[in-house]
Structure 1
Amino acid sequence: MVGTPEQTASGQVAAGSFNYKPALALLASLFFMWGFITVINNTLLPHLRSVFDLNYTQTTLIESVWFIAYGVMGMPSAFLIERTGYKKAIIIGLVVMAAGALGMVPAAQIPSYGVTLFALFVIASGITLLQVAANPYVAVIGPAESSESRLTLVQAFNSFGTFLAPYFGGYLILSRTVGGTSLEGTEISAAQRLADARATELPYIMVAVVLLLIAIVIWRSNLPKLGSATSRVAREERKKLSLWKHRNLVWGVPAIFIYLIAEIGVANLFINFAILPEIAGITPAQAANYLVLLWGGMMVGRFAGAFIMRSFPADKTLAAFALFALVVMVGAATLEGPVAMWCLILVGLGHSIMFPAIFAMGIKGLGPLTEEASGLLITAIAGGALVVVQGWLADLYGLQNSFWLTVACEVYISWYALVGSKPRTAD
C-alpha cells in the first residue's frame, strides 16, 4: 500500500517520503487514454467532412467545440478537485468521458451533426477534468528538480496513445467507409454517406468500456492523497497570494494556448493536406498511416526529452525543440510534393515536449496556488478551438498557406522558452 506523502512548504512532495512510482504507472494509463481519444478525432474529422459534406471551416469547427470544453470546464475542474480530491475527480472524469463516448452511438444512428458535437463536448469535458488533476499530480509527487522530466516521461505514454489511435481510427472508421477509401473529389451518394456514418459506433463503444474499466481500477487503487493534512493551511495561504505575480505562469498560459493552435492545426489538417494532388495525392485511409508517424515522432521526442532534461535545463531543451519545429513548418508551408508532407510529419518531433515542459515550468514555485494555476493552464488548451481560424484561412488562401499561422505559433514558443519561462515573481 502506498503511504501518504509529506509535502514541503511550496506544495512539492518531499523526495523520499514515499514511493510514487506505482502511482505514476497507474496514471500513465490515463495519459494514454486521453491521448488516444483525442487523436481519434484526426481520423473522425475527414470522416465527418465526407458524411456531412462539410467545408474546411465547418470541419475544423468540430474540433473547436472539443477545445471549447477546456475553456468552459478548466477552472470548474480545479474547484472540483479542491473539494473532492484528486482520486474522486479522476474517477468522475473517466465516467463523464465514457458517457460522451456512448453518446456517439445515437449520433451515428440518426445521424446528427449537432448530437455529434454535443457528445464530443462531453468527452472533452471529462478529459479536461483529468488534465487538471493528473498533470499537477505528476509534477508535484516527486523531487522538484525533476518535475519537467517526470511529466514529460508520463506524457510520452499520452503520445503512445496518439501513436496507436490513427491505426485504430483508420482501420475501424476510414477503411470501412466509402469516403475513407476514395480519392479527393469522388462523388458519394446519400445512401453511402448514411452507411459511412454508422462506422463510428463500434470504436466509441469499445472506448467507453475501456474507460469504465480504468475507472474501476482507479476506484479500487490506493493513490496517495496530496495535501490532505495541509489543505486548510493551503486555503488560508491562497488568500494572501496572487497567481498573476508569477511571470512563468503569466506567460505560460498564452504559451499553452498558442501551442495548442499549432499542434491541433497540424494534426487535424494533416490528412486533408496529404491527400491534396500537389502534395502526396493519396487516399484518407493511406494518409492515416502517415499520421501515425507524426504522433510517433511526438512519442519518441517525449521519451528522448525526458532523458535529455535530466542533464540539460528544461528551458534550453524546449528552445531547441521549438526552433526545430519552426524550421520544418516553414518547409511545410513553402515546399511541394511528398517532401512537404514529411516536413509536417517531422513537426511532431518538435512539438513533442512542448506541453509537458511549458506546463511544468508554468506551475513551478506556485505552492498552494498549484490547483488554480493548473486550472488556468488547462483552460488555455482551449487554444485548440482556434483551429477553426486555420480552417477559415485554408478556405480563403489555400490549405498549405494556412500553415503560416503555425509558423507564428512556433516563434512565440521559442520566445517563452528563452525569456518568458524564467520562474521569478512578476513586477
Structure 2
Amino acid sequence: MALPTDSSEVQIISASGEKTNYLVPFALVTSLFFLWGLANSLNGTLVKQFQTALDLHRWQANIVETAFYLGYFLMALPAGYVMRKLGYKWGILVGLLMYAGGAFLFYPAAEVRVYGFFLFALFMIASGIAFLETAANLYVTVLGDPQKGEWRLNFSQSFNGISTILGPIIGGLFIFSKKEYTKDMLNAMPSAEAEAVRISQAHSVQVPYLIIGGVVLFVAFLFAMTKMPEVGLKEEKSSKNITIRGLLRHKHLVLGIIAQFCNVGAQVSLWGNFVDLKLDFARNQHLAIVEWLYRLNDTMTPTQIASFHASFALVLFMLGRFVGTWFMARIKANLVLAYYTIGAVLMVLTAMFTGGIVAVIAISLIYFCQSIMFPTIFALSCKDLGAESKLASSLIIMSIVGGAIIPPITASLFKIGPQAALCVPLVCFVYVVYFALKGSKVENA
C-alpha cells in the first residue's frame, strides 16, 4: 500500500483558510511506526539469547519484557510534557535520540556481559519509544482532516506490522547461532569452551543493534532538517489548566485507557505463549512441521524455525491492518473495531472448544483480528479532546503496562490448562467489544 495520494488526507487548514500539504512530514512520522515495531519484535529473540549468553533461568530472561514496559509506563507522561511545552518535533527527536542511545549501549553491554547493563539499554530504548508512540500516534490523527484521523493512524500502524514480521526473521538469521546450545550441553563442556560459547552468543547482538542505532540516528537527522507543522500548539499554550483530573471527566477516554490496557495485555499473553499454545493444542502436527522444515534446510536450528513460525503468524497481523485501513475509509472506525474484536472473541472460543489443528488456526487468526485494535482504540480515545490530546495520549501509552500485568495472570492459568489460560484474553476482548460499540461514544463532559 502506498502513501496516501489524496492530499486532503494529510492537509492542515490554517486560520486564513489556506490548505497546506504535509505529505513529507506524514511520511517521516510513518517511518517511526516501523522503527518501534522492530524493537518490540526483537524482544522475544533477546529473551532466548540471554538465557544462553548469560546463563539465566527462563523467568530471569523474561524480565526483558518487564524492563521494556516499565520504560513505557514511566516515560509516557514526561513525553506528553515535552510535547506540550516544545511541540511534536522535539518529542520525536528526544525519543529517537534515546532509542539510538539504548541501541548503541548493547555493544558495551555485550562486552561485559552484565544483565543489568542489557536491561538498562532496553529500558532506554523503551523510554525513547514511549516518546515516539506518545507523539506519533497522536500526530498522525491531527495531521489532516479530523474525520480521517482513525484511517491515517491505521495506515501508519500498518508499517509497524511489517517491521514486526521482520524482527523474528532478523533474530533467526543474524542473532541466533547456527548451532543450538542447551543448558545440559553447556554444563557438559569444559568450562573454558562453555564460556567461549556464551561470549559468542552475547556478541551476536552487537552488530544488529549498532546498525539499528545508526538507522535511528539517520531518521533523527531527517526530522531535524524537516519543517514539521505544530498543530494546535498555540491553543495548548493558551490552555493553562490541563490536568489529569480534568481529563478523567471524559468518559470515552477513561474507557479507552481500560480498553488499551486489556488489548495490550491480551496481545502479549497470546504472542508470548504462541508456540506453547501450539504444542498444547497440536503437539504432533507442530513437531511434524518442524521436522519437515528441518529436512528442507538441515542447517536451521529448532529455535530459528520457531522464530520463523512467529513471523508467519505476524503476516496475518500485517494483512489485518491493511485490510482494516481499507474498510476504515468506508465504514465508521468504531464499527470496524467491533467487527474485528468480535472475530477475536469467536476465534478464542473456537480454540477453547475444539483443540487440535483447528485451535492452532484459530489462534493464528487472532493475530489478524488484533491488528487494528491498538491504533483504533487510541484514535477513538483521543477524539475531540483538542488541547488536552497530548496529555491524553500519554495516559493511553501508559496503559501499555497491561502487557506486563495481564500475561502473568494468563501464565498462572496454564497450570490448569490452555483453555483456562485463554479465558483471560477472552474477557479482555469482550470488554474491547463494549468499548467499540458503546464506550467510544464522545459525551459532553
TM-score, with normalisation over the residues of structure 1? 0.88
Query: Who is 1:258 aligned against?
Result: 262
User: Any unmatched runs of 5+ in structure 1?
Assistant: 9-13
CA–CA distance in structure 1, aligned partners of residues 376 and 63 of structure 2: 28
Query: Who is 2:209 aligned against?
Result: 204
Query: Who is 2:165 aligned against?
Result: 163
Deviation string 1:342-375 (CA, Å, 9 cap, x unpaired) is: 3332211011000111000000010110111111
Query: Who is 2:392 aligned against?
Result: 373
Query: Who is 1:148 aligned against?
Result: 150
CA–CA distance in structure 1, aligned partners of residues 18 and 342 of structure 2: 37
Are the aligned partners of 1:294 and 1:344 in contact in 2 as well (CA < 8 Å)? no
Query: Who is 1:62 aligned against?
Result: 64
Say which SS state the counterpart of residue 18 (structure 1) adopts.
strand
Counterpart of 1:284, as a letter, is T
Whether 1:121 and 2:143 are equivalent positions in the alignment is no
Deviation string 1:75-95 (CA, Å, 9 cap, x unpaired) is: 111001112211122111111
Say which SS state the counterpart of residue 403 (structure 2) adopts.
helix
Are the aligned partners of 1:46 and 1:271 in contact in 2 as well (CA < 8 Å)? no
Are the aligned partners of 2:261 and 2:399 in contact in 1 as well (CA < 8 Å)? yes
Change (3 A) 1:301 1:85: same
Whether 1:280 and 2:286 are equivalent positions in the alignment is yes
Shift of 1:423: 1.2
Whether 1:227 and 2:229 are equivalent positions in the alignment is no
CA–CA distance in structure 1, aligned partners of residues 396 and 165 of structure 2: 24
Say which SS state the counterpart of residue 413 (structure 1) adopts.
helix
CA–CA distance in structure 1, aligned partners of residues 315 and 383 of structure 2: 28
The one of 428, 431, 445 equivalent to 1:412 is 431
> Which range is displaced more, 39-48 or 412-421?
39-48
CA–CA distance in structure 2, aligned partners of residues 143 and 34 of structure 1: 25
Whether 1:45 and 2:64 are equivalent positions in the alignment is no
Are the aligned partners of 1:176 and 1:199 in contact in 2 as well (CA < 8 Å)? no
Say which SS state the counterpart of residue 280 (structure 1) adopts.
helix
Change (3 A) 1:69 1:177: farther
Shift of 1:143: 1.0
Say which SS state the counterpart of residue 19 (structure 2) adopts.
coil
TM-score, with normalisation over the residues of structure 2? 0.85
Q: What does 1:290-305 align with in structure 2 at a 5 Å threshold?
A: 290-305=309-324
Are the aligned partners of 1:23 and 1:223 in contact in 2 as well (CA < 8 Å)? yes
| Paired residue total | 414
**Which structure is larger by alpha-carbon Rg, 1 or 2?**
2
Shift of 1:338: 4.5
CA–CA distance in structure 1, aligned partners of residues 130 and 244 of structure 2: 27
> Which range is displaced more, 33-42 or 278-287?
278-287
Counterpart of 1:408, as a letter, is V
CA–CA distance in structure 2, aligned partners of residues 332 and 212 of structure 1: 43
Q: Quick one: percent identity of the two aligned structures? A: 31
> Which range is displaced more, 417-426 or 157-166?
417-426
Query: Who is 2:349 aligned against?
Result: 330
Q: What does 1:69-148 align with in structure 2 at a 5 Å threshold?
A: 69-148=71-150
